[in-house]
Chain A
Amino acid sequence: MVVAMHMSDGLVNIPTALAFAVVAVIGLGFAVTRARRDLDDRTAPMAGLVTAFVFAVQMINFPILPGASGHLLGGALVAILVGPWVGSLCITIVLVVQALLFADGGLTALGTNITNMALVGVFTGYAVAVAMRGLARRSRGGLLATAFVAAFVNTVVASLAFVVEYALGGSGGAALGTVFALMVGLHALIGLGEGLITAATVGAVASVRPDLVHLLRPTRAALDSRDPS
């Protein structure tokens, strides 16, 4: 049974929580203005469904070690399917619903949770996916490999964002070196699960509706270089 999976109130001090709330608000402000470009009559319902899908899959904690589990963060998944701007809003909505209705993730911790998963996680996953886009377009195997690697990296880097917050204003209880080693070690294992889930999901969508996979859409450069006939 799932009980809690995001940062609670009190893990970092109030100034740190506030600072990252400001980071989150600024990031989301950009996201809202840029997301419009990627939303139309066809992609807006897709983005709503992807958001609900992330909520559902985050409930499925999978075992990684005896006594420890992991769950999807979803950064690379949303970035590949709906783009990074819309994707960061998807993850934010999931986090807000979880914090307000399911008592999962603290209210003062929303800024840190949004920063880690909706901004750092999504844009890290997107950067990796874009770097591998040529491979992703070449074959189905390439697309699956891209999704897996992007998801693995997004999980580990998002966990590092927590380590940074703990270093800046952690409320204590464990040494920073221990927190760093445990966070990265555990999230490398979780990243394998995140990679598998992301590859399976992106692969499934691409096999029936490749036009709904944001990463596979023609880029402006590709459109410009296309023969105008």
Chain B
Amino acid sequence: MSNAGTDSSTVTRFYVGFLLVTLIIAGGLSYFASSSPDGLDTVTLHGCQVVEVETGEQLNGSCIAQNTGDHIVAGSPLADYSIGGAEGTTGVAGVAGVVVTVLVAGGLFWLLRRRGSRN
């Protein structure tokens, strides 16, 4: 291996770049995501028609998704990848998710790591 692996300034630059790309994806690119149901939702909705009613959406027909109810934390401020359900806040919610995820995961992996393995 080259000595790049021991060069802490280039590895730090890589980490910063990686985090920036991640934030741009969650904060910006997320506005361009398809709103169609994903593979699993397409299967669970198969056989039903989604009809807009006053109280939200109703599933007419017969499909697997009829067995599901509201999510237990549907009232979470970040529910459905938005801030309090507000339109146009997907990117903000995404950035919040990235920050939480990197702190939780980074913290856990830092605690789990083998100490003094560097040299």
Contact = CB atoms under 8 A, between A and B. Distances in A.
Q: Do A and B come from one complex?
A: yes
Interface of A: 1-11, 32, 35-37, 39-49, 51-53, 55-57, 59-64, 67-71, 86, 89-90, 93-94, 97-104, 106-107, 159, 162, 166, 170-174, 178-179, 182-183, 186-187, 189-190, 208-209, 211-212
A90 B105 CA distance: 7
Given A9-B71, A48-B106, A63 B34 contact: yes
Interface of B is mostly: helix
Contacts of B110: 44-45, 48
A182 B46 contact: yes
B113 to A, nearest CB: 4
Interface residues of B, number: 69
Contact of A64 (B39, B68, B73): B39
B68 A5 contact: no
Contacts, number: 254
Contact of A51 (B29, B63, B81, B101): B101
Contacts of A11: 44, 64-65, 67-68
B25 A60 contact: yes
Contacts of A64: 39
Given A44-B113, A45-B15, A173-B47, A93 B108 contact: yes
A34 to B, nearest CB: 11
